[in-house]
Amino acid sequence: MSHHPFGNLPEIILASKSPRRQELLKLMDIRFRIILKEVDESYPETLAPEEVAVYIAEKKAHAFDEALTNEIVLTADTIVCIDNQILGKPESLQGAVEMLELLSGKMHRVITGVCLLYQHQLHSFYDVSEVYLNKLSSDEILYYVHKYQPLDKAGSYGIQEFLGLIGIEKIVGSYTNVVGLPTEKLYRALKSLQ
């Protein structure tokens, strides 16, 4: 049996309750355990969108005890951005409808910031994907929002759900980045820590 490329990797702690991030790590054959900490996700208004995603990922990493030296803590934050306006998670179903009306028929950017905390050092990076969404009818938007209730998702949709399947014309960049973890960049970053 061939050896896994991550044979020598320290234990990984995923600081995320996102089932999508957990699934991506499993698909990468990475073993991990989950530890969650509450973090205030506010950020300075002066930051560019790419900086925001990294800032919040690093903030999540800082929440971990200094005592963690032999494990790698993995944190991430995904934001959706249209015309340099950052769209967070919608406050309500009506807010989700309005967000999707804003995205409909346009290109938006999805930015995931990732931070690896290892031996008291932060290793941070981000990836950007351009997502081209077709014009959506109000019926399609209402159906999606009420059936899937995407209140836990930045930009009010999940690419792997109904709206992503029927509405996305094309993506320029990493698909997994839009799901919530840029797996190719993550792989290379983890390899560099071995």
Query: Does any domain span residue 90?
Result: yes
Cβ atoms of 81 and 144 closer than 8 Å: no
Dihedral in degrees, nearest 10, Cα atoms 144, 158, 44, 105? -60
Q: Is the pLDDT of residue 97 over 60?
A: yes
Query: Does any domain span residue 3?
Result: no
Number of domains in the chain: 1
Helix, strand, or coil (residue 121): strand
Query: Does any domain span residue 146?
Result: yes
Provide the percentage of residues in the chain whose pLDDT is more than 90: 87
Grade residue 8 by pLDDT with cuts at 50, 70 and 90.
confident
Provide the percentage of residues in the chain whose pLDDT is more than 70: 97
- Which range is most confident: 9-13, 122-126, 149-153? 122-126
Q: What is the mean pLDDT of residues 6-32?
A: 92
Helices first, then strands: H and E counts in the chain: 7, 7
Query: Does any domain span residue 5?
Result: no
Query: Does any domain span residue 6?
Result: no
Q: What is the mean pLDDT of residues 58-73?
A: 86
- Tell me, letter by letter, the H, E, C secondary structure of the chain: CCCCCCCCCCCEEECCCCHHHHHHHHHCCCCEEECCCCCCCCCCCCCCHHHHHHHHHHHHHHCCCCCCCCCEEEEEEEEEEECCEEECCCCCHHHHHHHHHHHCCCEEEEEEEEEEEECCEEEEEEEEEEEEECCCCHHHHHHHHHHHCCCCCHHHCCCCCHHHHHHEEEEECCHHHHHCCCHHHHHHHHHHHC
Grade residue 147 by pLDDT with cuts at 50, 70 and 90.
very high
* pLDDT digit string, tens, across residues 149-179: 999 999 999 999 999 999 999 999 999 999 9
> At CA 26, angle to CA 20 and CA 30, rounded to 5?
130
For position 101, which CATH number holds? 3.90.950.10
Domain of residue 137 covers 12-193
Give, as one character, the DSSP assignment of residue 31.
Answer: -
State residue 133 phi and psi, 5-degree precision: -105, 130
Mean of pLDDT over the chain: 94
Query: Does any domain span residue 101?
Result: yes
Query: Does any domain span residue 56?
Result: yes
Q: Find the catalytic residue in 29, 77, 127, 139.
A: 77
So what's the pLDDT on residue 134? Answer: 98
Q: Is the pLDDT of residue 2 over 70?
A: no
- Least trusted range by pLDDT, from 1-5, 138-142, 147-151: 1-5
Q: What is the mean pLDDT of residues 64-85?
A: 88
So what's the pLDDT on residue 68? Answer: 72
Decide if 77 is catalytic. yes
Grade residue 33 by pLDDT with cuts at 50, 70 and 90.
very high
Q: Which residue has the higher pLDDT, 7 or 49?
A: 49
Query: Does any domain span residue 67?
Result: yes
Q: What is the mean pLDDT of residues 111-115?
A: 98
